[in-house]
Structure 1
């Protein structure tokens, strides 16, 4: 992350694209569980730099993907790096997942290691329900609130330690996470059924 001209934190899409192997490997584990036919339409929620979007496209030779992210820098990298030309089988949109609804219903929503940055999970799941076809699916992986609390605490401690302090900014570690119980509850309240929630 870096501070932009407006003084707020912004992801560095190019750096993330190069340094996101852990996130990529976790995503591949989740993608491999999907029973895709190859013609589905998916929302890649919190698509980041598009590495996972590319994999989803390769699994959907007749399908489409909408990559949604709040970071302009991430989306610039995604548009540049994507194997498909934007507007053909993939579109990238700047979107807050608490308010974004796809223009047309999609068959599924995929998200990997992004939703722990979303503040209001209950609202996000209601929006996800509005984005999906009646038999649509969610495949989501994100940080558990307890894990991210521990990570945040450790990073906040490092902020006061030379030489790390100048490179760390408190708001970069505002992970929300969500525990399995509340995740299940929010999904049920949004109308989802056949819910499987696990803590890894």
Structure 2
């Protein structure tokens, strides 16, 4: 296991940040103008980091954790994915069915203990609803499955990320939807509009 059990609801950091983006006309305009995904994620990161800093003051279990965007490192090396799939017997796995190959990865946003794989808490992939590219969407889904998979990676545990939880967040003009991933499975998307679940 590459995460510590922390009694904390990660949505208490992510959801307020996205709600704030949607409730701030100047920021929401980024989505309306179809700005680059990285620009929008950077805006959400700024807000999430503020909320996270406040939460850290009240919860010592969060002290070693940071939020990073487009983070492509695993210790001193590159963050690589799909390597442990060769050892998996689950032929129904989305990754195996698509015959995805070993590659490097830069998740949109993560909350983790930087430089180590001992406390990987959250991985998030964002997409704008206007991005209909099914390959890109499938790639994000595969990353979330892989990064949250709790299976062992024999002789490569330093490359076994095992994030506690993952979120796929679909950003629309006036609402967003969140799909939760845990241990390589996902829930049905839940949507929010004007600061409330719908």
Q: Which structure features the higher share of helix residues?
A: 1
- Tell whether the structures are fold-level matches, with TM greater than 0.5: no
TM-score band, normalised by the shorter chain?
0.3 to 0.5
Structure 2 length-normalised TM: 0.33
> Which gives a bigger RCO, structure 1 or 2 (Cα 8 Å, sep 6+)?
2
